[in-house]
Structures are given as C-alpha cells and as structure tokens.
Structure 1
Amino acid sequence: MSVEIRQLRYFITVAEELNFARAAKRLAMAQPPLSQAIRNLETELGVQLFDRTRRPIALTRAGRALLAEALPIIDQLAYVVEATRRAGTSKGGHLEIGAVSAAQLGILPKLLRVFHTAYPDVQIGIDDITSSHQLAAIREGRIDIGFLHSPAYDPVLETRLVHREGLSLVLPTTHRLSSLSSVEISELGSETFIMFDRAESPALYDQITGLCRAAGFRPRIRQHVNRFTAIISLVAVGVGVAVVPASIERMATSGVVVPSIDNPLAFCEIHACWRASETSTEVRNLLSLIEPA
C-alpha cells in the first residue's frame, strides 16, 4: 500500500467541499484528474470514501474515518515543514538553556534581552541546573548550552569565560558585622557556614573554601543546602553565614544583609558550555552576542 500525501490533500479538500468541481477549483486543477486521484485512493484502500449517488456527495463511514485521521497528519506535516524552514533561516527554532542561579540573575537577563530582540521567533527555555548536572545535560542533548561556574575539561565540549563577578557574604541582620558594607573573610573564622554540596559546583565550592584557608581557617560547615533561596532563609533565622556570588543579593529577603568581601580574589566565574559538534544556528547566534569577560 502506498498512499501519498498529495492524495490525502485531495481527499480532504473534496471532503470539505463535498463537490468535485469546487474542490478542483480550490486545488487549481481540472476536475477529471481530481476525480481519478480519489478513485485511485479508494482502490488503494479497498473502500469507497464518497457516496456519489447523493447530491451533494457525502462521506461514507470509511470516508469519515479517513478524514478524522488525515487532518492531524496534514496539520503536523505543515508544522514540520514550517519549523524546518524557520530553523534553517534563523527565524524560529528553540534554544534550551541550563544555568546556575548566578547566571540567571547576572549575565543572562541582558544577554537574552538582546537575543530576543534579534531573533524574536526563537523559543527560549531556561532550566535551573547546577554546574555538574549541566555537563551531563549538554552531552546528552537535553540542553543546548549551559552557563556554569567552571570550564569543562572534556573533548566533546567547548567552553568560554563569559562573566566574572565578586563574592558576597550573607549575614543575619543581627550579626555583629551586619552594619558593614564590606567584610574581610578573616573576620569569619569563628562562624559556622551554610554551603552547597561540592559535587554540585566544585569550582565555586573550592573558590570559597580556598578563600577561607588563605585567611587562616577552615570553614566549619554546619549544613549543606543546594538552593540559594534556602541558604538565605537559613541565614535569616541564624543557622549560620554563607558566601555567595554577588548577584545572589537580588534574592535577599528581610532578615539578611549582603556585604561584599574585601579581597581581590573573592570572585567567581561564569562559563558558557556547549557541544563541540554543535551545529544549532540558535546556539551560534547566542554565542555571537556574548562580549568577552
């Protein structure tokens, strides 16, 4: 059996018009070839699709069944064709982005605003994913590009430094240092810390603990929490203090203050990461808009 898309289009048009002459006019063809095409389709399927003894003609039970199945097929085909054309001309498509919280609050809003202005038909998805999970998602094709805290040392991936920002403290408003706009990390040697798991973002974790060790102490970590919103909430109720990327200040709630850290080495990085074999027009267009860090 070999039913062609063209035959289904002809059939749907006749089914909508219930008149071969009007259907032929809509299809910009002569009536005899249209009638022959429908007869060939009926022969191919082994059923009669139209009752031609009635005026106007009517769909048979088999014809009604075919119409119900053929309409979504043609609609889906039209969608596939349009999506393919739009993707090929950069006028459409989809871009799935993974990003750590600091990227979502820092570099991404401005970058995506420019991207959306240039490519308004591209659908953008943003997934809140930790650095380590982004690498797996990029390799497996679940996201197209990631924004994470460290470069990827993997031959199948490419990375680019795109943003650098300072680190800040999160302190409860009742803390002895809460009135200061800038704090030296050495002042926190006696504090308990709330941190995220190292496995979630090794580079950022090592940057923070390295600052503490350079100041002469090892941070006493009371609790590991993998969401900055939860970290801020725990600081607010006095469970401990935290070190976070400066952009996280935008998440701050009542009950905390977010002074900067007085240390030129107190910074973190955001790297863009994508598959080295990536051919997506959307990814390349986004990368072209990123200014060097």
Structure 2
Amino acid sequence: MDDVEVRELRYFIAVAEELNFTRAAARLGMAQPPLSTAIGKLERKLGVTLLERTSRHVHLTSAGQELLEQGRIAVEAIGAALERTRRTGTQADRLTVAIKAGAGTELLSKITRRCADDPFMPQVHVQFVHDGGPAAALRAGTADVALLHTPFDDRGLDTELLFVEPRVAVLPAGHRLARRRSLRRADLAGEPMPRWAKQTDTATAAYWANGPGETPDGPEISDMNQLLDVVALGQAVAYIPLSIARQHGRAELVFVPVADLSPSKVVAAWPDATRSRTVASFVHTAVEVAADRPRQAAALA
C-alpha cells in the first residue's frame, strides 16, 4: 500500500464532515473534480470504500467513519508536533500556559510568582484562549500546559486535580431570587442560561445548564466576561465556580449558593505525550499553591 499523505487526509476529513463535495471543495479552496479524484485515489491506496455516493447524497461507510476519527487525531498530532518544534526553536526559554479568557487569574498569579523564584524555570507566558479553549491549544501545540475547570474535552491529555470548589448562581441584582440566602436548581427551572459558542458536547452543555439532559437556551457567549454581561443585562442567569465569582464582584450582579449543584474541579492539563521536566515542575508548583488555598481562605474569612 502506498503511503497516505497528510494532504489526502485533510481532503477526506473535509468531505467526511461536510458530506458534500461542493461544500468541501469550497472549504478547501479548490475545484470539485480534483477533490473527487483525490478521494478516489485514497480509496484505492487503502483498498476500501470510504464514501457511498449517490446523485443526491454522500454517506460514510464504516471504514470511512473509522478514518474520520483516526485521521482527525493523526492530522492534529502532526500539526501539534510541527508547532511544538517551531516553538522549541524560537521560544526555548518560555513555558506557555493556556487559560480561558475571563476565567480568573488569581491561582495562576500565585503559581507564576512561585515559579519566578525558581532559577531553573523559564519565563511563564500566559495565553488567553478563545476559540476551542485551553484544551484545544494543548492539542494544537500552541501551549505547554493549561489550567481548566472541568468538564472539557480531555482527549489526548493528562491531568492533575488541583482543587474542588462549589459553584454558585449568578443573578442580575433585580432578579426575583436575588435576596435569597440559598437556592436549589428547581428554583431556576425555566430561566434562560448562556450557551457557550461551538459547544457540541452534551455533557458539558448540561454542566452549564440546569442539569443533565438540559441544554442552555440563552444568549451565545464565548468567555466569562460575556457570560457576566448577559446576566447583568437580565438576559440570563448562570452557574459559575466560586473562585470566579469572588474575582468578578459587580454591583449589578448577585451570587447565591445552590445546595444541589455539582461542584467545579480545577485541574492542570498537558499533552499525554509530554516528557518535559519544565511542565512537570510547573504542575508540581500548581499542586503546592492549590494546597495552600484552604489556609488562605481561612485567613480571609
């Protein structure tokens, strides 16, 4: 069997995701006939049928579904390897840490200050991630390590739990429940909740909604600041981790504990193929800093 080229995998992934040769060709910036020829050549190389074509529809075969899943992983891994190689050659003295914009920097600030006291640690560069989130930045090779709130797509990643904390409801100050000392999820049944952009995972969507099986139906947002803005404007209510609530106090917002709401877990994550001592040192420092949080919280009480 001839070797399959990355270009051919990219072509196939586009067709498999669009299930339409015309749309796939437009997405790839090429004409349709060469794309059809390339897919036929790929099928001959592999000796299997990847797509069932009719005059109106394109369907994946079982072999095509397998190649779509494995091909995505392969193309992603190659892109990440090239990006990490580039960064190693141009930014060898820098550790890039990805966090979600608006998710709070208190923990990371303490970690970076402690890292700065270690003469063997390189400079820590913070990457505020929007599209795809910190986990996607790790898989793409643009970041070395990330701090995230679960749940997230942990495919291809290793993680270390830093701490667990409660989530609270964030309400507009004029909301009918804003003066309550505590709530239950049922109290907010039927309230619109923000939808995270490009969120396709149902479990994660339910986490940000009012429970399993539910889907947020409020305004679409892409970071925590936007979430708080739509709540302040009275367009939605939301659930957020307590540490983020403490960093985003605003007169137009009220934060209320929710007795039956699942907690938030904060983890450090890195690509599972990483063998970097620098990443290991950063994660070790993050665990130490996170372990100090209960004492810090007691001192602030």
Q: TM-score range by the shorter chain?
A: 0.5 to 0.7
The answer to whether the aligner puts 1:255 opposite 2:252 as a matched pair is: yes
For the Cα contact (< 8 Å) 1:232–1:252, is it kept in 2? no
Which structure 1 residue ranges, 5 or more long, are not aligned?
Answer: 1-82, 88-92
The answer to whether the aligner puts 1:281 opposite 2:277 as a matched pair is: yes
Q: Which string of whole-angstrom CA distances, capped at 9 and with x for unpartnered residues, describes residues 180-234 of structure 1?
A: 232111101132222323628865433233x5358xxx46612111121122112
Q: 1:241 to 1:173 in 2, by over 3 A?
A: same
Following superposition, the deviation at residue 164 of structure 1 comes to 1.8
Give 1:225's aligned residue. 221
The answer to whether the aligner puts 1:234 opposite 2:230 as a matched pair is: yes
- Between the aligned partners of 2:215 and 2:272, the Cα distance in structure 1 is 38
Give 1:212's aligned residue. 211
Q: Which string of whole-angstrom CA distances, capped at 9 and with x for unpartnered residues, describes residues 229-273 of structure 1?
A: 12211211211211122222112322111112112x421222222
Q: Which string of whole-angstrom CA distances, capped at 9 and with x for unpartnered residues, describes residues 109-168 of structure 1?
A: 3322322223486311112225943333223321111122246554x5322222222111
TM-score by length of 2: 0.56
State the AA in 1 paired with 2:133.
H
Q: What is the DSSP-based 3-state SS (H/G/I as helix, E as strand, rest coil) of the residue aligned with 2:194?
A: strand
Give 1:165's aligned residue. 165
TM-score by length of 1: 0.57
Aligned-residue RMSD, C-alpha: 3.2
Q: Which string of whole-angstrom CA distances, capped at 9 and with x for unpartnered residues, describes residues 88-119 of structure 1?
A: xxxxx211001135764453233223222234
Q: 1:102 to 1:205 in 2, by over 3 A?
A: farther
- Between the aligned partners of 1:162 and 1:237, the Cα distance in structure 2 is 33
For the Cα contact (< 8 Å) 1:98–1:126, is it kept in 2? yes
For the Cα contact (< 8 Å) 1:103–1:270, is it kept in 2? no
- Between the aligned partners of 1:201 and 1:107, the Cα distance in structure 2 is 27
Q: 1:212 to 1:227 in 2, by over 3 A?
A: same
Give 1:111's aligned residue. 111
State the AA in 2 paired with 1:260.
P
Q: What is the DSSP-based 3-state SS (H/G/I as helix, E as strand, rest coil) of the residue aligned with 1:222?
A: coil
Q: 1:163 to 1:101 in 2, by over 3 A?
A: farther
- Between the aligned partners of 2:215 and 2:271, the Cα distance in structure 1 is 36
Give 1:29's aligned residue. none
- Between the aligned partners of 1:140 and 1:194, the Cα distance in structure 2 is 27
- Pairing of 1:16-55 with structure 2 (within 5 A): none
Give 1:46's aligned residue. none
- Between the aligned partners of 2:203 and 2:248, the Cα distance in structure 1 is 22
- Between the aligned partners of 1:206 and 1:257, the Cα distance in structure 2 is 22
Q: 1:208 to 1:199 in 2, by over 3 A?
A: closer
The answer to whether the aligner puts 1:290 opposite 2:289 as a matched pair is: no
- Between the aligned partners of 2:267 and 2:123, the Cα distance in structure 1 is 22
- Between the aligned partners of 2:113 and 2:195, the Cα distance in structure 1 is 32
Q: What is the DSSP-based 3-state SS (H/G/I as helix, E as strand, rest coil) of the residue aligned with 1:229?
A: helix
State how many pairs are aligned: 198
Give 2:199's aligned residue. 199
Following superposition, the deviation at residue 169 of structure 1 comes to 1.1
* Sequence identity (%): 21
For the Cα contact (< 8 Å) 1:193–1:242, is it kept in 2? yes
Q: Which string of whole-angstrom CA distances, capped at 9 and with x for unpartnered residues, describes residues 9-40 of structure 1?
A: xxxxxxxxxxxxxxxxxxxxxxxxxxxxxxxx
The answer to whether the aligner puts 1:245 opposite 2:250 as a matched pair is: no
- Between the aligned partners of 1:247 and 1:255, the Cα distance in structure 2 is 18
Q: 1:261 to 1:195 in 2, by over 3 A?
A: farther
- Pairing of 1:147-166 with structure 2 (within 5 A): 147-148=147-148, 149-150=150-151, 153-154=154-155, 156-166=156-166
Which structure 2 residue ranges, 5 or more long, are not aligned?
Answer: 1-87, 292-301
Give 2:68's aligned residue. none
Q: 1:213 to 1:158 in 2, by over 3 A?
A: closer
- Between the aligned partners of 1:110 and 1:202, the Cα distance in structure 2 is 33
- Between the aligned partners of 1:132 and 1:230, the Cα distance in structure 2 is 16
Give 2:268's aligned residue. 272
State the AA in 1 paired with 2:250.
T
